[in-house]
């Protein structure tokens, strides 16, 4: 099982020392914190997906990295601009975005349902948290994919 450990620092200038002020400041920071956690989860999901996508599904040619392309993900908390990896097939020239494939449900059924529901609901934050929690706690499915067997 793959586990993602996410560590980060929050800087808060203590202009006042009462609990209500601190709570207000932390609530203002929640979008920034959520989007950073989401970015790190997407990086891990994408890294796993890149390992799976070695060959083109259309022609069987080798896939090589071919830069990045921005993807805008809207959540209830805010919008995240993520630079996703683009792969190009040496055989047919087709392009593949491993992160998109992972988020579109080319994974096991439990994740499939969460991704489908999250995309349908415009990536609501609670669905993304469920997806992130599942990936962090149950990445066992990745080891059952034939191209990955034997690694780790």
Query: What pLDDT does residue 132 have?
Result: 65
Query: What pLDDT does residue 37 have?
Result: 87
Q: Is residue 97 part of a domain?
A: yes
Answer yes or no: pTM beyond 0.85. no
Q: Is residue 150 part of a domain?
A: no
Instruction: Tell me the CA distances in angstroms from 139 to 2, 96, 110, one per residue in order.
Output: 5, 22, 11
Query: What pLDDT does residue 134 have?
Result: 65
Q: Is residue 33 part of a domain?
A: yes
Q: Domain total for the chain? A: 1
Q: Is residue 9 part of a domain?
A: no
Q: For residue 29, what are the domain limits?
A: 19-143
Which residues does the chain have with pLDDT short of 70?
A: 1, 105-152
Cα–Cα distance, 56 to 114 (Å, whole number): 26
Q: Is residue 130 part of a domain?
A: yes
Non-local (6+) Cβ contacts of 88 within 8 A are 63, 64, 65, 66, 94, 95, 96
């Amino acid at each position: 099982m793959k586990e993602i450990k996410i560590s980060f620092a929050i800087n808060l200038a203590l202009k006042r020392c009462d609990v209500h002020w601190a709570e207000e400041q932390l609530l203002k920071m929640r979008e920034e914190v959520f989007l950073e956690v989401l970015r790190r989860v997407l990086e891990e999901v994408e890294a796993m997906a890149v390992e799976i996508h070695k060959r083109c599904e259309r022609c069987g040619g080798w896939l090589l990295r071919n830069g990045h392309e921005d993807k805008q993900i809207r959540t209830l908390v805010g919008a995240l601009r993520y630079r996703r990896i683009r792969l190009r097939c040496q055989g047919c020239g087709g392009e593949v975005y491993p992160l998109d494939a992972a988020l579109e449900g080319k994974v096991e059924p439990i994740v499939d349902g969460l991704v489908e529901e999250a995309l349908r609901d415009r990536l609501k934050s609670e669905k993304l948290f469920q997806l992130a929690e599942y990936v962090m706690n149950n990445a066992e499915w990745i080891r059952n994919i034939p191209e990955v067997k034997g690694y780790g």
